[in-house]
Chains A and B, each alone.
Chain A
């Protein structure tokens, strides 16, 4: 995975993804439509709970901030994973593996593309929440920036693991692109505090960097000062998760070449 980055090759990867995004209508669903659908569903649930007087703390804002921040992970993961899956679906992975493209260059290109999609997807959620529920995400302040950074890194970590699984087990593993994400979302307490989860799952939830990020966001919404302790916990967990996932991918790539799995695509 080591090696210097050739910017022309990174640019080529970005350009390729740009054309895919431009010409694949289903990709716009991921970036624009699903975020809005989620806002309507979760915002309405939150509003309904508020109307029933069941929410001791703000129901709709919690749901909307949860869905907004979940989409940070979603866009970061799905964009990067699908960028890689595109190459396996079209069997272009053979061409890439015998080209000068380094793994680091492919990843750098996919990360930059995913960053762009993340901004677009997040914008769509924020706009929909404001228009439909008068929820202004900026009310949480700049404190959301480190929260978003941690969640974006979690999304990329999942993407690295999905790539490793697809390399190891073939395209049958692509379901994990979405499946793994939703398991993490459920365990992270995107819409509820970890204390609300079954006791058995709480320790697992507390290990995840995203759990601390979601909790930090709720505190910010409640008007509390920046919860640096939670951000630090999230950052520390992410500092372990990203290198660990990178190592798993690197080892799997080694196995992919050693066992000749490329012949699945040739």
Chain B
């Protein structure tokens, strides 16, 4: 067995935003967080774990679901975002309503359409479990099970979900891989036309922008619901493009099922809705001009952001013997 390396900043990544000194990732803390992440006890009727809507093979998104599908077959109103490189994220959710990773899991646990559970009930279930008190003691020194320890353990697991070993990374870090001619052309086009928002190396600048998709039928105004600032209406967080090949469907409401559709939106579909991002308003028309050939090359490049090591890393997978039925 390899020794547990803890959180490692990839050499081509900036310093993380999350203050790891306040919650150092340890083997025991991480393993507790992983067990919690996959444990359906976090939901009211013990059916939904975090891993239900955040599937590793889909870069921890809910593959194939436009909006997340929670307890009692209830549906949410937004697409399940990836759990990936969150140590660099300044705000969480499509509207950035949560400002710290340690406060993030409170949302799905208590949201009616997701896990619909009370935190006190979660803690009580964990206290009654034969293993958890001992695991909390190993991770945090005492058997006491409380909100802070639970959230910090979940953060330790999520912080370890680092995707930095795609072909793109290996090319950029000069680890012996090379782009094909088409990938290289796609990369150059990407740098000209997409990098303004989907900034390297994390492929997002973490800003909130209106990308010109028509408002959905539920008129979700995104960032506005958090700031109540009319200048934020219809803005959503710029999502990362890492592992984009496996995280369909796309956009905050999962309206596009393929990358071709997404790029066609930028080519032909950008609407002049309030607060449309200025980067999409250049020249005479809206959107991003791309020929059919260029579009295919950009998609070819985007596929170099797929990180198979991350998607299959057994360290991040549900471990055997975790199912509730086992105990």
Partners in one complex: no
